[in-house]
Chain A
Amino acid sequence: MRALWTMVGNDFRQRLRDKSVLIFSLIVPLALMGVLSLAFGRLGTGSVDLQPATVVASVEDSGPLGAALLDSLGSIEAMKVTVREVPADAVSSETRTTGAALGIVIPAGFSSALATGQPSTLQLIEGSGSVLETSVLISIVTGIVDQFTAASVTEAAAKLGGVPPDAAAGIGRIAVVGEPILHITEGTVPAGQLSLRAGLVAGQTGLFLLFTVGFGVLGLLAEKEQGTLGRIRSTAVPQWTIVAAKAAVGFSLGVAASAVLLASGTLLFGVNFGSPSVVGLLVLGAAAAATSLTFIVAKVVRTAEQANVAQSIVAMVLGIAGGAFFPIQASGFMAVLMDLNPVGAFIRGLGISAGGGGIAEIAMPLITMWGFAVVCVLVSRFLPDRGARS
């Protein structure tokens, strides 16, 4: 074991000294996360800040509902809305020239038409400002009108049922302001879905993990070329410790880099991946899967340069297919293949963890990653070593 630790320590000293790990495992992915996050803009935050908006309105209705509609718009909590009343024939031009989000023309007889169940037309004019705020305002107006209609229909039904007019009007008001019978509660389900920004952090971590572990086993090829591997093999150390030391270095670097990236992502981009212990298990699984892959790459290439190219290709393919940049959907056999992708499993696991999932919920991603690791190690045992003679 002394030889093993000597080799591990020697590798760590070199990696820290040549700065390559720092650059490729931390600086580059963090920079990429930042760039991608900026590129996707505020969509990636998971919540949207609505901008203040102006509504240009004309109220020709003498009843209470037209005024109530405008009052409702002015009291929206999530968005500051300024209502500016103008004559009916000026609404359209004012809306288009002043950057207002919405124009509304409430016709005369609007209140009485609703009260008697008669048809009435409410004119909405979309502004030239933000599409988002305009859409929200239209939805709100539609909702309010639906409530007014519900009250009107309820009151009419009560009258038809023989309810006295005063009582029928009261029933109609209850239909508008009363507590709803059905409640919809928004919750979070641990189903593997991450916000766009959290997905980027998780994806880039998974992708660059595949590069980071390359500093381990693939380093054997570089040592072979510079002659130090032969020299080590001529010393009095068990041969298995040489590969084991490299694997330990790759695995450790992968775990450390992933942990730092996820922690940095949490701090810099305001994302949360849930329980640290659950995330830790996922990182260990992903690092094991990524390290095992380097055993195969080391067997099928002849030189360190070929190894770097092959590892980069493998990392990009697995990273993109796993959703490192954007979620990928597939069906049938391709979906099965993508489910076996350790990067995809890592991201899914982080999604489950972020949604509050525990160790039991991440069992499948963990099994996928460790299964991938076992298969890769077994396959590498049976592959001929193409670089053995070179």
Chain B
Amino acid sequence: MSADRLVKRFGELTAVDDVSFAIRPGETYGLLGPNGAGKTTIINMVAGLIPADSGSVDVAGIRMDPAGIAVKRHLGLVPQELAIYPDLTARENLNFFGRLQGLGRKELSSRVNAVLELLGLAERAGEQTKKYSGGMKRRLNIGIGLLHRPGLLILDEPTVGVDPQSRNSILEAVGDLSAGGTAVLYTTHYMEEAERLCDRIAILDQGQIQAEGTRDELITLTGGVDRISLVGAGRSAAAAEALRSLDGVHRVTDSGGTELILTVTDGAALLAGIVSTAVRSGMTLASVSVTRPDLESVFLHLTGKALRD
């Protein structure tokens, strides 16, 4: 699929601003950004739920249109909400959405059984889903999206509120699909998921793609800088000011007066000087940590704020 210069406005707010990207078969593409960055709006345009104000989306060579039917046969959507019917069983939910996707009786039956096995829900397929645990509902939510073997699977924060065990099995299932040739568009604000799953990642903030590439390509954008976190009390503003003047310190971000986040070159070498400067400036430190560059660092480097702000 490809998205070309997508723009979406809601009144005065530009939710998505000139966003372009493409996903190849078998590739998992991640949209990484905080809540409100525009991830779900992009998903909604790609899935044909809302029209773009400008720009276009093509899936399997067909132009996406909210009224389009042929193009939608190629995509499976896993929304962030648990988009399942609580009064229906897992099998009834799968049958319903499978029919809407145009699966014939025979194919539908075999695919429903296969998906129930894949998700580990076969034994409880006849139970109303309102009796399921959160993790089981999440798995079913994903299963409906991949029931008709779509060429493009769109997953919008599929692991929100999921226990670690279910999260792991969801990530494994997505990995298997991608390995099987399915193109996956995956949005998350969990850095670890993006790093683990995605072949390429777009860093999204305020409706714009700030950077795009593989994990390693993105990390090189930080210039190989380390991230140092100083947590404590006292005169954090004065400490931040003093730390900015040190050689090797590229950026100091004050997170609410209790934490200073620094991006520095060779953090291990500078750590002693940084700590003493902070203490001399009136900050009482409770903890200090140094982390090597990761996507969080990339986001911080690109936007000046933490991913979960």
Given contacts A13-B92, A237-B69, contact A228 B99 (CB under 8 A): no
**A143 adjacent to chain B (CB < 8 Å):** no
Given the complex of chains A and B, what is the CA–CA distance between A313 and B173 in angstroms?
48
Chain B contact residues: helix, strand, loop or mixed: loop
Of A13, A230, A232, chain B has the most CB atoms within 10 Å of the CB of A230
Report whether A230 and B87 are in contact in the complex, using a CB–CB cutoff of 8 Å: no
Report whether A228 and B101 are in contact in the complex, using a CB–CB cutoff of 8 Å: no
**B88 adjacent to chain A (CB < 8 Å):** yes
Closest A residue to B100 by beta carbon equals A235
Report whether B100 and A6 are in contact in the complex, using a CB–CB cutoff of 8 Å: yes
List the one stretch of B71-79, B191-199, B258-266, B293-301 in contact with chain A: B71-79
Report whether A235 and B82 are in contact in the complex, using a CB–CB cutoff of 8 Å: no
Residues of B within 8 A of A (CB-CB), count: 31
Report whether A6 and B99 are in contact in the complex, using a CB–CB cutoff of 8 Å: yes
**B144 adjacent to chain A (CB < 8 Å):** yes
Given contacts A236-B70, A236-B72, contact A231 B79 (CB under 8 A): yes
Report whether B47 and A234 are in contact in the complex, using a CB–CB cutoff of 8 Å: yes
Give the contacts of A199-243 with B (CB-CB under 8 A): 226-228, 230-239
**B22 adjacent to chain A (CB < 8 Å):** no
Provide the residues of chain A in CB contact with B77, threshold 8 Å: 230-231, 234
Report whether A18 and B87 are in contact in the complex, using a CB–CB cutoff of 8 Å: yes
Given the complex of chains A and B, what is the CA–CA distance between A236 and B103 in angstroms?
11
Report whether A233 and B49 are in contact in the complex, using a CB–CB cutoff of 8 Å: yes
**B53 adjacent to chain A (CB < 8 Å):** no
Provide the residues of chain B in CB contact with A6, threshold 8 Å: 96, 99-100
Report whether B87 and A235 are in contact in the complex, using a CB–CB cutoff of 8 Å: no
**A183 adjacent to chain B (CB < 8 Å):** no
CB distance from B76 to the nearest CB of A (A): 8
Report whether A14 and B85 are in contact in the complex, using a CB–CB cutoff of 8 Å: yes
**B190 adjacent to chain A (CB < 8 Å):** no
Of A14, A226, A235, A236, chain B has the most CB atoms within 10 Å of the CB of A235
Report whether B102 and A236 are in contact in the complex, using a CB–CB cutoff of 8 Å: yes
CB distance from B293 to the nearest CB of A (A): 36
Chain A contact residues: helix, strand, loop or mixed: helix
Given the complex of chains A and B, what is the CA–CA distance between A2 and B101 in angstroms?
11
Provide the residues of chain B in CB contact with A231, threshold 8 Å: 77, 79, 83, 97, 144
Closest A residue to B99 by beta carbon equals A6
CB distance from B51 to the nearest CB of A (A): 11
Of A7, A228, A231, chain B has the most CB atoms within 10 Å of the CB of A231
Report whether B100 and A3 are in contact in the complex, using a CB–CB cutoff of 8 Å: yes
Report whether B85 and A228 are in contact in the complex, using a CB–CB cutoff of 8 Å: yes
Which of B49, B70, B96 interacts with A234 by CB under 8 Å? B49
Which of B47, B73, B99 interacts with A3 by CB under 8 Å? B99
Given the complex of chains A and B, what is the CA–CA distance between A389 and B9 in angstroms?
11
Give the interface size class of chain A: 20 to 34
Provide the residues of chain B in CB contact with A2, threshold 8 Å: 99
Of B73, B79, B88, chain A has the most CB atoms within 10 Å of the CB of B79
Provide the residues of chain B in CB contact with A235, threshold 8 Å: 72, 97, 100-101
Given the complex of chains A and B, what is the CA–CA distance between A334 and B128 in angstroms?
51
Report whether A236 and B88 are in contact in the complex, using a CB–CB cutoff of 8 Å: no
Provide the residues of chain A in CB contact with B213, threshold 8 Å: none
Report whether B48 and A234 are in contact in the complex, using a CB–CB cutoff of 8 Å: yes
Given the complex of chains A and B, what is the CA–CA distance between A326 and B92 in angstroms?
46
Give the contacts of A1-58 with B (CB-CB under 8 A): 2-3, 6-7, 10, 13-14, 17-18
Closest A residue to B68 by beta carbon equals A236
CB distance from A23 to the nearest CB of B (A): 15
CB distance from A63 to the nearest CB of B (A): 85
Given the complex of chains A and B, what is the CA–CA distance between A185 and B128 in angstroms?
64
Provide the residues of chain A in CB contact with B97, threshold 8 Å: 231-232, 235
Given the complex of chains A and B, what is the CA–CA distance between A352 and B193 in angstroms?
70
CB distance from A232 to the nearest CB of B (A): 6
Which of A7, A13, A236 interacts with B73 by CB under 8 Å? A236
Given the complex of chains A and B, what is the CA–CA distance between A231 and B66 in angstroms?
12
Given the complex of chains A and B, what is the CA–CA distance between A18 and B47 in angstroms?
31
Given the complex of chains A and B, what is the CA–CA distance between A14 and B70 in angstroms?
29
**B67 adjacent to chain A (CB < 8 Å):** yes
Give the contacts of B30-87 with A (CB-CB under 8 A): 44, 47-49, 66-67, 69-70, 72-73, 75, 77, 79-85, 87
Which of B66, B73, B144 interacts with A239 by CB under 8 Å? B66
Report whether B75 and A234 are in contact in the complex, using a CB–CB cutoff of 8 Å: yes
Given contacts A6-B96, A13-B88, A227-B83, contact A234 B72 (CB under 8 A): yes
CB distance from B114 to the nearest CB of A (A): 19
CB distance from A12 to the nearest CB of B (A): 12
Given contacts A10-B96, A230-B83, A234-B77, contact A239 B67 (CB under 8 A): yes
A contacts, CB < 8 Å to B: 2-3, 6-7, 10, 13-14, 17-18, 226-228, 230-239, 389
Closest 5 CB pairs of A and B: A227-B81, A227-B83, A234-B77, A231-B83, A235-B100
Name 5 interchain pairs, CB-CB below 8 A, sorted by A: A10-B88, A14-B85, A14-B87, A230-B77, A238-B67
B contacts, CB < 8 Å to A: 10, 44, 47-49, 66-67, 69-70, 72-73, 75, 77, 79-85, 87-88, 92, 96-97, 99-102, 128, 144
Contacts A227-B82, A233-B48, A236-B100 known; 9 new A-B pairs at CB < 8 A: A2-B99, A3-B99, A13-B87, A17-B87, A226-B82, A227-B79, A227-B80, A227-B81, A230-B47
